[in-house]
Structure 1
Amino acid sequence: MTLASDLTVVVASQNRRVDLLASLPRHEAPVVLVDNASTDGTVDAVRAAHPAVDVLALPRNEGAHGRTRGVARAGTPFVAFADDDSWWAPGDLARAVGIMRAHPRLAVLNARILVGPEERLDPVCAEMAGSPLGTAPDLPGPSLLGFVACGALMRTDAFEAVGGFDTVIRFPGEEERLALDLATAGWGLAYVDSVTVHHHPSTRRQQPGRRQAGIWRSRLLTAVMRLPARDVVAVLRAAGRSGRPGREGILRALPGLPAALRRRRPVPQRVRADLRILAGGSGG
Structure 2
Amino acid sequence: MTDPRIGIVVITHQRRAEALDAVARLTGLPERPPVVLVDNGSADGTADAVRQKFPQVDVLALSRNAGAAGRNLGVERLRTPYVAFCDDDTWWEPGSLTAAADVLDAHPRLGVVNARIVVEPGARDDPIVAELHDSPVPGPDWLPGPALGSFLAGASVIRRAAFRAVGGFSSRLWLGGEEELLATDLLSAGWELCYLDRLVVHHAASPARDAGLRRRVGLRNTLWFTWLRRPIAPALRRTAYLAIAVPHDRTSALAWWDALRGMPWVLAHRRPRPQSVEARLAPLDAAQRASTARRYI
Q: TM-score, normalised by structure 2?
A: 0.89
Partner of 1:104: 108
Task: Identify which of 139, 157, 168 aligns with 2:143.
Answer: 139
Q: CA deviation at 1:135?
A: 4.9
**Code of the aligned partner of 1:57:** A
Q: CA deviation at 1:229?
A: 2.5
- What is the distance in 1 between the residues matched to 2:234 and 2:286? 15
State how 1:121-270 maps to structure 2 within 5 Å: 121-207=125-211, 209-241=212-244, 242=246, 243-244=248-249, 245-270=251-276
Task: Identify which of 57, 61, 66 aligns with 1:62.
Answer: 66
- What is the distance in 2 between the residues matched to 1:97 and 1:16? 29
- Judge conservation of contact 1:111–1:151 (CA < 8 Å) in 2: yes
Deviation digits for residues 224-254 of structure 1 (CA, Å, limit 9, x no counterpart)? 2111233333333333321224322212223
Q: CA deviation at 1:2?
A: 5.2
Q: TM-score, normalised by structure 1?
A: 0.93
State how 1:36-51 maps to structure 2 within 5 Å: 36-51=40-55
Question: CA, structure 1 residues 260+177, in 2 after alignment: closer, same or farther (shift >3 Å)?
Answer: same
Partner of 2:93: 89
Partner of 2:10: 11
- What is the distance in 1 between the residues matched to 2:263 and 2:64? 21
**Code of the aligned partner of 1:189:** L
Partner of 2:279: 273
Identity percentage of aligned residues: 45
- Judge conservation of contact 1:240–1:246 (CA < 8 Å) in 2: no
Aligned residue pairs, count = 279
Q: CA deviation at 1:134?
A: 4.2
Deviation digits for residues 71-98 of structure 1 (CA, Å, limit 9, x no counterpart)? 1111210000000000110111111111
- What is the distance in 2 between the residues matched to 1:259 and 1:120? 41
For structure 2, which runs of at least 5 residues remain unmatched after alignment?
288-297
SS of aligned partner of 2:282:
helix
Task: Identify which of 107, 113, 124 aligns with 2:117.
Answer: 113
Moved over 6 A (4+): none
- Judge conservation of contact 2:137–2:281 (CA < 8 Å) in 1: no
